[in-house]
Amino acid sequence: MKKEKNPEIKKKINYSSQGKKNRAAGQRFEAKVRENLESMGWIVDKWTNTVDYKKWKLVPAKRKYNPYSKIMIIGTGFPDFICIKHKQERNPGKNEKNFDIIGVEVKRNGYLDKVERGMCFWLIENNIFSRILIAKSKKTGRKIEVEYVDFEKKYNKT
């Protein structure tokens, strides 16, 4: 006679190990986005500033300290990356340099919360970035690819 499993006994979820796996997956995806942007000719750097939501001004992002692993986390700015590229329509006779400067926020699901959307609108309105891209993951079979969504097209402020 087979023993039947009790449906009331639920499998316990270890949130600590789940969080570690999610953070590691996020870091791998962020590295993949950076590599992809560099292959497209962008100069990519970690953005270390953020928008103070109460004062509406640009401030250095606070560093986070993890007391358990004794690690100081530095790259906590919003958006994740600043990307610089020469514009195509350069005037070779003049000594002016035209650059396209964009911000890239890496989100595996592609969604920004209300505070993040507000910060993006502020960054674009104050000409900090010409545009902001959201890098999200797109699964093709077993392979995870990077898809870029323009912030203004997705969250059209009307």
pLDDT at 63: 83
pLDDT score recorded for residue 95: 62
DSSP three-state, residue 158: coil
Contact at 8 Å (CB) between 82 and 45?
A: yes
Yes or no: say if 84 and 100 are a contact pair by the CB < 8 Å rule.
Answer: yes
Could you give phi then psi for residue 102, rounded to 5 degrees?
A: -125, 160
Task: Output the pTM of the full model.
Answer: 0.83
Domain boundaries defined on the chain: 41-154
Q: Where are the alpha helices (DSSP H) in 2-147?
A: 15-39, 114-125
Reported confidence tier of residue 69, pLDDT bands at 50, 70, 90: confident
What is the Rg, in whole angstroms, of the alpha carbon atoms belonging to the chain? Answer: 20
The DSSP line for 65-80 is EETTTTEEE----SSS
* Amino acid (one-letter) located at 43: I
CATH code, 41-154: 3.40.1350
